[in-house]
Amino acid sequence: MTATGTTSADGPGDGGWTAAWELLLPTASAPPRGRGRMLQSALREAVRSGRIAAGTRLPSSRELSADLGVSRGLVTDAYEQLTAEGYLSSARGAGTWVSGAARAVAAAGPTRHPAPEVRRAGFLPGSPDLSLFPRTAWSAAHRRVLAELPHDGLGYPDPCGLAALRAAVAALLTRRRGVVAEPGRVIICSGVAQAMTLLCTVLRTRAPGPGVVAVEDPGSPEHHALIAASGLATAAVPLDAEGMSPRALAAAGARAAVLTPAHQFPSGIAYSARRRTELLDWARAADGLLVEDDYDGDFRYDRAPVGALQGLDPERVAYTGSVSKSLAPGLRLGWLVLPEALVAPVAEVKRTMDLGHPVLDQALLADFITRGDYDRQLRRCQRAYRERRDVLVAELTERYPGTEITGIAAGLHVIARLPARFGPQRRFLAEAGRAGVALRPLDDYTGAPPPPGGAVRLVLGYAHLPPARIREAVRLLPR
Amino acid sequence: MTATGTTSADGPGDGGWTAAWELLLPTASAPPRGRGRMLQSALREAVRSGRIAAGTRLPSSRELSADLGVSRGLVTDAYEQLTAEGYLSSARGAGTWVSGAARAVAAAGPTRHPAPEVRRAGFLPGSPDLSLFPRTAWSAAHRRVLAELPHDGLGYPDPCGLAALRAAVAALLTRRRGVVAEPGRVIICSGVAQAMTLLCTVLRTRAPGPGVVAVEDPGSPEHHALIAASGLATAAVPLDAEGMSPRALAAAGARAAVLTPAHQFPSGIAYSARRRTELLDWARAADGLLVEDDYDGDFRYDRAPVGALQGLDPERVAYTGSVSKSLAPGLRLGWLVLPEALVAPVAEVKRTMDLGHPVLDQALLADFITRGDYDRQLRRCQRAYRERRDVLVAELTERYPGTEITGIAAGLHVIARLPARFGPQRRFLAEAGRAGVALRPLDDYTGAPPPPGGAVRLVLGYAHLPPARIREAVRLLPR
């Protein structure tokens, strides 16, 4: 191993890393498709079991991939995944180390809880501010639901979801997102990940048989991973300034495409009206399905929200969303709004997979939505996140004059392109990492090679950071 | 259609059935593997949409299978499934009709709840008494959890489950069921259905590739359906008085076997010690896996519980259970205790499928178990169910002298074999149905032909019925 580092009370070190080395060796001999998972599992177990202690610095992805004889992307993916799960903490350039959170989970007894979330250390995108979770209202809703639910409501759930929640979600999405959502089209599920698994399982088993699913490039690595895990192939289709290119989509021979039209992840663009029409034309001509992941469509700051693509043709678009950004990812509650022909088959897969969603959680969310608490929560988050976005944009503009910031109209992250004089990106990220600020470059989300010159292009998540933390973190970034 | 009947306020009729007839016709032209699902979906949709009104009597399985040109088992399965889901109500002999519950679900607005459960009309097995759900203690636990959970506990869950719950479940199963359950072996999931889906997905993708999974005959139709939906083949292996026959298991060429050793469903036998050893010998010799579905192992009335098979060899047995019988099926909370080598792959499938289980539900159950509330609930149910069992056995013995009642030591159901003079079974079931008492014959759970003579052999679920209802229902049965 070539990794080096020092251990200190509050930083990464290398103690104990070599003890876990042997666990990772079988990875190279696994079949190619299974290597990524095996590496992730082995690393996770090594952290969980304490074989790699908290604070231990892991080798760089370049070093580990060379040592194991596997691709560097595999190692990067494993590090990213385990970082997202809280086992690892990473700051590009400063390397990756075992987080304190992971140790706390391993050692936790029945009354302990995980240590503070590692994302807070930087601008990694994807998390809302969990301190905004409406505990009092949520608790009150639980009490009401338990007081009112008849005994028989505690039996096996309808695999489509509780009628009350399907109706509440349908009304919510119709009103807020322009979705065509009669309750009969709504399936309650655990979130976008399960929605994709359900849809892919149905696609896999229906005529004309397995096919290719197009994903955005740049795009969410989760889309690719979920589709692949369901046994379907993916094709990365490039974006232009208006959205996914319909010509490239047609050329890919895809039968379905996963899109984020309201606020593309990560680029932040909203799909143009013309592009929406073109993509629907493709779906009608090719008998294709568009899957609309409306992951942060509730947050729009400077003008009215862009309506959901689904509203244009509900028989060609499967719409999915969740409460992960508006309430908390830990609730595992989301929805699918489906073309009529897909409702029964998707419900059947949901039934087989887990016999339907927990009823009390469903009744609780239905109560929460119908009483107006959900709208109140969205307004509260919207105010907080708009302020954070404004602070971030102002701080970046001041510290890096000439920076181009896009994707600011919506969502929980922006894209910042710094003038060339602040690059190269590699050095910038390394210095930020040493200063303790985790950053994710836009290049992480694309299969295409980074442009020449190495300019700094960042995906900056801000929603989880109070304004003071944003100011502090930007000031720690390299000049 | 040849089905006839009359409509009344409280009984089945045939109004509206023909309107739904066309919906079912495509079933016959579907590929054989998809027919069962298609029939179920079409029927479910017909009920949900109101195309078949509540109270409508469906044709007999014989008539419908003949009319559609599909196997009778397919129709029986569809009727059973939709009855379990509450859309249909059935009493063998009296036929199958659309239940009022289904209509209520279809028409429900945000504040309505489903009508009383149809199971209450008879002795259909599988449901606990939902009125025993400990609402006050559950509500208090939710309040405590929300007050104590740190903000970061609301983030994405560990796909293995909350550390606190894994520890609580491990301690509970070690103490109550003799399971070897270090927390590191425990995966939290939504129940036995998801546990089977997770296991089958791992089995399907691992060397030596897909294989046959043995299921008990007689046995739970759910086991077969879940395994088949995961893309694996099943082999029905007959039982003798000690459990699944190891010779027949070996002959089936299975790589895994799903067992209910504590209280076999439906026969009620407990696997003998010798048989447990023989089955483990098979697993070691054939590199096979035993899946122990401990669906009602918590309820044992007359002697100490039979310890879990898993305790004998935790590397050869995957143990699964849930709170569906002890608390409520609607909670969708269960667990898997795995051989060490399966923990990481099963967790990986769980992560892909739904990103882990809802955190508040998990924290709540952990609190509920560690405070002793779960044990209190089990004691309360155990007392209630023992009394109901005693009442049922006494009533049956009085009304049908000479009846052999087995499987009474544990669980939520018994098997009653009536003397031949009360048969034939066909007439008995028909008369019971006309009297409004839903019954399930043992023959429903086996692929083997019923024995000659047509003696009455019933699987009687009693846990959901208060003693007075049991007395009343037995007295309605034919003499």
CATH 3.90.1150.10 fits A121-126+377-476, yes or no: yes
Convert the pLDDT of each residue in B252-269 to its tens digit.
999 999 999 999 999 999
Global pTM reads: 0.76
Q: Is the pLDDT of residue B115 over 50?
A: no
B159: CB partners within 8 A, 6+ apart: A85, B347, B348, B350, B351, B355, B356
Please check whether residue A26 touches B, CB under 8 A: no
Residue of chain A minimizing CA distance to B190: A354
**Least CB–CB distance from A360: residue in B197, B330, B355:** B330
* Start-end of H helices in A85-179: 100-107, 135-148, 163-177
Give the Cβ contact number of residue B53 at 10 Å.
Answer: 17
Convert the pLDDT of each residue in A303-356 to its tens digit.
777 789 999 999 999 999 999 999 999 999 999 999 999 999 999 999 989 999
Asked if B430 and B86 count as a contact pair (C-beta separation under 8 A), the reply is no
Convert the pLDDT of each residue in A376-393 to its tens digit.
999 999 999 999 999 999
Convert the pLDDT of each residue in A70-81 to its tens digit.
888 888 888 876
Convert the pLDDT of each residue in B388-443 to its tens digit.
999 999 999 999 999 999 999 889 999 999 999 998 998 999 999 999 899 999 98
pLDDT confidence band for A119 (50 / 70 / 90): very low
Q: Could you give the C-alpha distances from A414 to A123, A126, A385, in angstroms and in order?
A: 10, 11, 12
Convert the pLDDT of each residue in A262-292 to its tens digit.
999 999 998 998 999 999 999 999 999 999 9
pLDDT for res A110: 29
**Least CB–CB distance from B153: residue in A42, A113, A142:** A113
> B32: distance to nearest CA of chain A, Å?
13
What is the residue whose two structure tokens read 């149809």? B118
Cβ B361–A358 below 8 Å, yes or no? yes
What are the tokens at B307? 């310890």
pLDDT for res A33: 64
Give the Cβ contact number of residue B226 at 10 Å.
Answer: 26
CATH 3.40.640.10 fits B134-373, yes or no: yes
Give the residue with greater pLDDT, A450 vs B178.
B178
β-strand pairing of A289-293 with A254-259: parallel
Asked if A412 and A128 count as a contact pair (C-beta separation under 8 A), the reply is yes
Say how far residue B54 (Cα) sits from the centre of its chain.
25
What are the tokens at B392? 């049922």
Burial A393-405, CB ≥16 within 10 A → b, else e: bebbeeebeebeb
pLDDT confidence band for A30 (50 / 70 / 90): low
A70: CB partners within 8 A, 6+ apart: A27, A28, A35, A39
Q: Could you give the C-alpha distances from B469 to B365, B385, B391, B395, in angstroms and in order?
A: 32, 13, 10, 12
Query: What is d(CA B477, CA B479) in angstroms, rounded to the nearest whole number?
Result: 7
Q: What is the DSSP string of A14-43?
A: -TTHHHHHHHHGGGGGS-HHHHHHHHHHHH
Mean pLDDT of B41-54: 69
Query: What is d(CA B238, CA B217) in angstroms, rounded to the nearest whole number?
Result: 5
Which residues in chain A have Cβ-Cβ distances shorter than 8 Å to B364?
A: none
Which stretch of A11-15, A26-30, A96-100, A323-327 has the lowest confidence by average pLDDT? A11-15
**Least CB–CB distance from B361: residue in A113, A149, A361:** A361
Which residues in chain B have Cβ-Cβ distances shorter than 8 Å to A465?
A: none
Query: What is d(CA B438, CA B443) in angstroms, rounded to the nearest whole number?
Result: 15
What are the tokens at A87? 């086992």
What is the residue whose two structure tokens read 């009394």? B387
> A161: distance to nearest CA of chain B, Å?
11
pLDDT confidence band for A68 (50 / 70 / 90): confident
Residue of chain B minimizing CA distance to A227: B352
Q: Which element (helix H / strand E) includes A413?
A: strand A413-417
Fold observed for domain B14-108: Arc Repressor Mutant, subunit A (1.10.10)
Query: What is d(CA A456, CA A462) in angstroms, rounded to the nearest whole number?
Result: 18
Cβ B156–A330 below 8 Å, yes or no? yes
Q: What is the DSSP string of B263-291?
A: S-TTT-PPPPHHHHHHHHHHHHHHT-EEE
Q: Could you give the C-alpha distances from A90 to A55, B133, B140, in angstroms and in order?
A: 11, 45, 39
Cβ B329–A152 below 8 Å, yes or no? no
3-class DSSP state of A460: strand
> A358: distance to nearest CA of chain B, Å?
5
pLDDT for res A210: 64
Looking at chain B, the number of H-run helices and the number of E-run strands are 16, 15
> B357: distance to nearest CA of chain A, Å?
7
Q: Is the pLDDT of residue B4 over 50?
A: no
Q: What is the ipTM of this complex?
A: 0.75
pLDDT for res A49: 62
What's phi and psi for B239, nearest 5 deg? -100, 150
Spans of all domains in chain A? 14-108, 121-126+377-476, 134-373
What are the tokens at A395? 């701080």
Query: What is d(CA A333, CA A377) in angstroms, rounded to the nearest whole number?
Result: 16
Which residues in chain A have Cβ-Cβ distances shorter than 8 Å to B44?
A: 344, 347
> A458: distance to nearest CA of chain B, Å?
23
